[in-house]
Amino acid sequence: MQNLLQSRSKKISDPAGREVEILEDSQALKIAAESGCSVHDVYVEALSLGIYPYRYIRNRETISGEEQLRLSKSCVAVVGAGGLGGQVILLLARVGVGHIVVVDYDRFDETNLNRQALSSQKAIGKSKSEEAVMVVGSINPGVLITPHQVKIDPSNAREVLKGSDVIVDALDNIPARFTIEDASKFMGLPLVHGALAGLEGQLMTVFPDDPGIKRLYGNSAAGGEKSKRPEAVLGVPVLMPSFIATLQATEVLKIILKRGRLFRNVMVHVDLESGKMNEFTFGDSD
């Protein structure tokens, strides 16, 4: 494959006028077909040789070539492919995370169209996890998607999430949140939690040794009646899922790239209507 990459790549000037060797998608697709491998493998090999997939050229000054390669080799599990999860999946796919595991048992309906990034009129009635494969494939063929149309529970969580580097909590109920947190702690994986209702939302990153989301929800896994949950009472306009999903995706990148300050042992609360974003830090005794 190396010979193919070197013969099909070309040198261009980037937006700042610097020379860079790139590989266009059209050539990546041809190399994948000729080599009998995935476009994902082509991207990884290209980056290993210092050749940028052209689609990532605008990442270059923020994300180095080595970091782009690390993203391409990483796997992120997104549990929930609705308002939060759909946005997270698309952000991670566009920035270049190489493998995304999508876990969601639900199907799209018309009420999802106001906020869920993977939904469309054509997708109504279709599996959310399977639709993620189609949508991401049309955006970035260099991303592998593993769909699981299952309801996450203690009996399947570890099996479904294995192989991931980071887990994203994009769920809408407390019991399932505790389930994936328990799995993440057992597997030694960081978890990025997000939740929202109306124009308010929250975010916290949890590492295996952290007390975790019990600081937010107590020790009870009771979910309460679905009709009385905050998101049911206050609604979910698209603005808040998009905002919290951006924060979650950024946390994922910081974890994988080992840079920046994480919101660990900190709960970030966002109120878009008042324009406030506050941090609540937990002490060791909390």
3-class DSSP state of 102: strand
Task: Give the pLDDT confidence score for residue 218 in this predicted structure.
Answer: 86
Task: Give the pLDDT confidence score for residue 234 in this predicted structure.
Answer: 57
How far, in Å, CA of 240 to CA of 276, rounded?
13
Task: Give the pLDDT confidence score for residue 286 in this predicted structure.
Answer: 53
* Strand duo 191-197 + 266-271: pairing: unpaired
Contact criterion met (CB below 8 Å) for 112 and 86: no
The domain locations on the chain are: 2-68, 74-281
How far, in Å, CA of 153 to CA of 74, rounded?
24
3-class DSSP state of 196: strand
Contact criterion met (CB below 8 Å) for 129 and 149: yes
Q: What does CATH list as the number for 74-281?
A: 3.40.50.720
Task: Give the pLDDT confidence score for residue 279 in this predicted structure.
Answer: 95
CA 223, 194, 235, 106: dihedral to nearest 10 degrees? Answer: -70
Task: Give the pLDDT confidence score for residue 228 in this predicted structure.
Answer: 53
Contact criterion met (CB below 8 Å) for 199 and 239: yes
Task: Give the pLDDT confidence score for residue 247 in this predicted structure.
Answer: 98
Q: Print pLDDT tens along the chain (286 aa).
A: 899 999 999 999 988 899 999 999 999 999 999 999 999 999 999 999 999 999 999 999 999 999 999 999 999 999 999 999 999 999 999 999 999 999 999 999 999 999 999 999 999 999 999 999 999 999 999 999 999 999 999 999 999 999 999 999 999 999 999 999 999 999 999 999 999 999 999 999 999 999 999 999 987 655 555 555 556 555 688 999 999 999 999 999 999 999 999 999 999 999 999 999 999 998 654 5
Task: Give the pLDDT confidence score for residue 236 in this predicted structure.
Answer: 80
3-class DSSP state of 223: coil
Quick one: how many helices (H) and strands (E) in the chain?
11, 11
Contact criterion met (CB below 8 Å) for 93 and 43: no
Contact criterion met (CB below 8 Å) for 122 and 114: no
Model confidence, pTM: 0.94
Structure tokens at 126: 């279709």
3-class DSSP state of 148: strand
Residue 21 CA: distances (Å) to CA of 11, 12, 47, 185? 4, 6, 10, 41
